[in-house]
Chain A
Amino acid sequence: MTLLGYKGKEIGHEVADFKRLLHLDDVDLVMSAINRHASQKIPYDIDYRLKHKDGHYHWFHSNGQGLWDQEGKLIQMSGFITDIHQHKEIERLKDEFIANVSHELRTPLTSIRGSLSLISLGTAGRITPKTKELIDIAQKNAERLILLINDMLDLEKLTSGTMDFHFEEVLVNGLTKHAVNANLKLAKKHQIAITPRYLEQDAIIKVDKARFIQVLDNLLSNAIKFSYSGGLVEVILSRYRGFVRIMVVDRGIGIPKDFRPKIFQKFTQADASSSRQKAGTGLGLTITKQIVEYMNGKISFKSQVNKGTTFCVDIPEVRAA
């Protein structure tokens, strides 16, 4: 309590006293973490804000261990509380900085891309094939930078909780088909066939349409890019324990074993040479995972080197259609 500037008996030691000091946005998070720990023994390990005596909300990290009686009732909690306020503040400044820089980069890049596409089409006068070749290189790289900046902005919005989500009830078959169709061109370029298997009885899920498509699009384009030419990518929909399960299966190069634990981290790609070949930003799966979790879903994968990779997304089913 001294961490918060209070003296002796100014506040009590009951859960209710603690709850009163909690930031409104954190109450649900903390209470459900305590309940999950009490009932399912899921580790209690969270960040939250408490009201300081001077009025500001202060960040803390807690991890703790419960003590249960013989009937399995939680009687006591003990553990560590760490002051992480400065750490959180630095993190916030860093995210804000990244968002600002990305915005500032986007404006000049927009001009570069716009000029290049007008020149490339001959709108500003005839150009020689050699010039066209160079303009195309510049254009391709401008596109790549824009993708990277958009990804960084997306990630910042997801982290700060300011990403716009429009949840609506939609049919999963149609939405998946949309994502599959959007990738046919890329598949053709890499000589890959996509075979979708939809639900026999369609299901309704509650998601943000555009974000859901973004998730599937990311998994599909990865599957295509990391497949061997002439290969097959399968998209399989099924039902599993109240969830709609979407599996994206490829028979490609697989994910190296030592890379697997890092796959959802920012700016990671299996190795520098493959990243150059496949031209990604290294943020796709980080964003994908965050979006899936935002939509109350789960994502996991299985992979074998040279045999292929399966990504599995589970989204709660609202009801059968």
Chain B
Amino acid sequence: MKSLKRILYVEDDQDISSIAKFTLETIGGFEVDICHSGKEVFEKISEFKPQLILLDVMMPDMDGPTTLRKLRALPEGKDIPVVFVTARIQSHQIEEYQEFGALGTIAKPFDPLTLSTEIEKLWMSYAGRF
């Protein structure tokens, strides 16, 4: 099974993304890059080659689901697993994310101390399929 190394986090709030980057790098030992908008994803993806993308749902200009849809239309983006990180976690909303093809959902506010383990678990469920 391939181990998870490179994570791309798409989040418009600078502080939340800094905390996530810090904890994922220090505690999780991952390599993390940040995008502050959905648009930026398409500039970074071919260079950074993320193995997993964490995606905020509510963002100005291009929201999470739209970003995911556009990502799936690209050859370099169609196979990357995507996890939504959002405060909108009512059960019908989570079902919706699954229909969009998300690997999972992480609730905001996330606990910075356990975020890495949560992501590792989701990765195992994904990578274990092959």
Q: 14 A-B pairs, CB-CB below 8 angstroms?
A: A103-B87, A106-B87, A108-B15, A111-B15, A114-B23, A114-B109, A114-B111, A114-B112, A117-B113, A118-B113, A123-B26, A124-B22, A146-B109, A166-B91
Q: Is the CB of B109 within 8 A of A164?
A: no
The interface size bin for chain A is: 10 to 19
Contact (Cβ within 8 A) B23 A118: yes
Interface contacts beyond A110-B16, A114-B19, A123-B23: sample of 6 additional A-B pairs, CB < 8 Å, sorted by A? A108-B15, A110-B109, A115-B15, A115-B19, A118-B26, A124-B22
Q: Quick one: which of B77-130 are within 8 Å of A by CB?
A: 87, 90-92, 108-113
Q: Which residue of A lies closest to B20 (CB)?
A: A114
By beta carbon, the residue of chain A nearest B15 is: A111
Docked CA distance A72–B11 (Å): 67
The verdict on A111 contacting B16 (CB below 8 Å), with A118-B23, A123-B26, A164-B91 known, is yes
Task: Give A107 to B23 CA distance when docked, in angstroms.
Answer: 17
B62: interface (CB < 8 Å): no
The smallest C-beta distance from A132 to any residue of chain B, in angstroms, reads 16
**Complex formed: what's the CA distance from A164 to B90 in Å?**
7
Say yes or no for B76: interface residue by CB 8 A criterion.
Answer: no
Report chain A residues within 8 Å CB of B90: 164
Q: Which residues of A contact B (CB under 8 A)?
A: 103, 106-111, 113-115, 117-118, 121, 123-124, 146, 164, 166
Where the two chains meet, the residues of B that have a C-beta atom closer than 8 Å to any C-beta of A are 13, 15-16, 19, 22-23, 26-27, 87, 90-92, 108-113
User: A107: which B residues are within 8 A, CB to CB?
Assistant: 13, 16
CB-CB under 8 A from B112, the residues of chain A are 114, 117-118
Task: Report B21 CB to chain A, min CB distance, Å.
Answer: 11
Complex: how many Å from CA A124 to CA B112? 13
Nearest CB of B to A7, in Å: 45
Distance in angstroms between the alpha carbons of A108 and B112 in the assembled complex: 14
What residue of chain A has the Cβ atom nearest to residue B13's Cβ? A107
Residues of B close to A123: CB separation below 8 A = 22-23, 26-27
Closest residue on chain B to residue A163 by CB atoms: B90
Q: Which residues of B contact A114 (CB under 8 A)?
A: 16, 19, 23, 109-112
Docked pose: A174 CA to B71 CA in angstroms:
45
Q: Which residues of B contact A164 (CB under 8 A)?
A: 90-92
Bound: A28/B90 CA distance, A? 27
User: How far is it, in angstroms, between the C-alpha of A118 and the C-alpha of B111 when the chains are bound?
Assistant: 10
Closest A residue to B89 by CB, please name it: A164
- The contact of A106 among B19, B92, B109, by CB within 8 Å, is B109
The 3 closest A-B pairs by CB, nearest first: A110-B109, A111-B15, A114-B19
Bound Cα distance from A123 to B115, whole angstroms: 14
Given the interface contacts A118-B23, A123-B26, A166-B91, does A113 sit within 8 Å of B109 by beta carbon?
yes
Q: How far is the CA of A166 from the CA of B13 in the complex (A)?
A: 32
Q: Which residues of chain A are within 8 angstroms of B13 by Cβ–Cβ distance?
A: 107, 111
A127 to B102 CA separation, bound complex (whole angstroms): 39
- The answer for the CA separation of A114 and B111 in the assembled complex, in Å, is 7
Q: How far does the Cβ of A90 sit from chain B's closest Cβ, in whole Å?
A: 27
Contacts of B87 in A (CB 8 A): 103, 106
Distance (whole angstroms) from the CB of B76 to the closest CB of chain A: 31
Q: Which residues of B contact A118 (CB under 8 A)?
A: 19, 22-23, 26, 112-113
Minimal beta-carbon separation of A255 from chain B (angstroms):
34
Which residues does chain B contribute within 8 Å of A117, judged by CB atoms?
111-113
Note all chain A residues with C-beta closer than 8 A to B23.
Answer: 114, 118, 123
Instruction: Compute how far the CA of A107 lies from the CA of B87 in the bound complex, rounded to whole angstroms.
Output: 9
Give the docked Cα–Cα distance between A111 and B15 (Å): 6
Contacts of B109 in A (CB 8 A): 106, 109-110, 113-114, 146
- Bound together, the chains give a CA A17 to CA B13 distance in angstroms of 54
**Centre residue among B16, B87, B109 by max chain A CB count within 10 A:** B109
Chain B residues whose CB sits within 8 angstroms of the CB of A121 once the complex forms: 113
Report chain A residues within 8 Å CB of B22.
118, 123-124
Which of A103, A114, A124, A166 gathers the greatest number of chain B CB atoms within 10 Å?
A114
Question: In the assembly, what is the distance between CA of A123 and CA of B24, in Å?
Answer: 11
